């Protein structure tokens, strides 16, 4: 991807149901108090760029880009940068699962204490409070199906306050963090729209 493409894309807005969004954030949120600085938008869209390339696209010095990145880390906004890997054709040796967890909210703390306790397990990649039929959505990594199953049965479901779990193993990824994986989509191929 060339720098011109990144520079052109990084100011792109997307219109979704009910409003305008910048990279998944509501436009009103992005424009208040400088929350979504141009450097953050560029990191979201062109995460594989080095600091020299970020500086070139943003028309800043590399020292200024490093200063802004350090400030974002200090403020707890930028917690890390991860590459997006296509492991579809690789034997990565990692089993990924999504677990729906129903828990009992606690007086004075709601779901927070249990969610924080579950999040501390090494096997847990991500943990989200959800609306709907379950309370927490937990993403887990393990060396095998048996290791993930053992984590659920021996560690997760035995926690006081956990009412039930439903484990779904990820079989294949088609899109990760906005990137299509696997087969290449022809530019002339159009999505079918049904009335």
67/104 same-domain check = no
Which range has the worst mean pLDDT, 28-32, 65-69, 150-154, 179-183? 28-32
DSSP structure class, residue 105: P
Give the pLDDT score at 2: 47
Residues 100 and 171 in one domain: yes
171 in the same domain as 105: yes
pLDDT band at 33 (very low <50, low <70, confident <90, very high): very low
User: Tell me: the pLDDT tens digits for 44-86?
Assistant: 666 567 788 878 888 888 888 888 888 877 877 776 666 555 5
Q: Does residue 181 sit within a domain?
A: no
- CB 129, CB 115: distance < 8 Å: yes
Model pLDDT, residue 27: 54
pLDDT of residue 99: 97
- List the domain range (segments joined by +) for residue 139: 95-176
Confidence at residue 75, expressed as pLDDT on a 0 to 100 scale: 79
Mean pLDDT, all residues of the chain: 76
Q: How many domains does the structure of the chain reveal? A: 2
For β-strands 136-142 and 95-103, DSSP reports them as: antiparallel
| 153 falls within a domain | yes
Burial class (CB in 10 A: 0-12, 13-18, 19+), 181: middle
Tokens of 72: 């974002």
**Are residues 62 and 18 located together in one domain of the fold?**
yes
66 and 105 in a single domain? The answer is: no
Please check whether residue 190 lies inside any domain of the structure: no
pTM confidence score? 0.58
Contact 96, 140 (CB under 8 A): yes
Taking only the tens place, the pLDDT of each residue in 161-178 is 999 999 999 988 887 766
Say if residue 22 is in the same domain as residue 61: yes
């Amino acid at each position: 991807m060339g720098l011109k493409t990144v520079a052109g894309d990084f100011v792109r807005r997307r219109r979704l149901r009910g409003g305008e969004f910048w990279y998944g954030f509501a436009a009103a949120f992005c424009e208040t108090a400088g929350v979504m600085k141009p450097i953050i938008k560029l990191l979201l869209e062109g995460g594989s760029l080095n600091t020299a390339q970020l500086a070139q696209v943003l028309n800043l010095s590399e020292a200024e880009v490093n200063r802004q990145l350090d400030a974002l880390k200090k403020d707890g906004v930028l917690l890390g940068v991860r590459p997006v890997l296509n492991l579809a054709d690789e034997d990565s040796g990692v089993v990924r699962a999504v677990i729906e967890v129903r828990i009992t909210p606690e007086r004075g703390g709601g779901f927070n204490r249990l969610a924080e306790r579950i999040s501390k397990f090494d096997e847990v990649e991500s943990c989200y409070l959800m609306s709907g039929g379950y309370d927490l959505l937990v993403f887990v990594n393990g060396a095998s199906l048996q290791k993930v199953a053992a984590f659920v049965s021996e560690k997760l479901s035995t926690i006081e306050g956990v009412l039930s779990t439903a484990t779904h193993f990820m079989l294949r990824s088609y899109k990760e963090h906005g990137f299509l994986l696997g087969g290449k989509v022809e530019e002339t191929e159009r999505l079918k729209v049904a009335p």
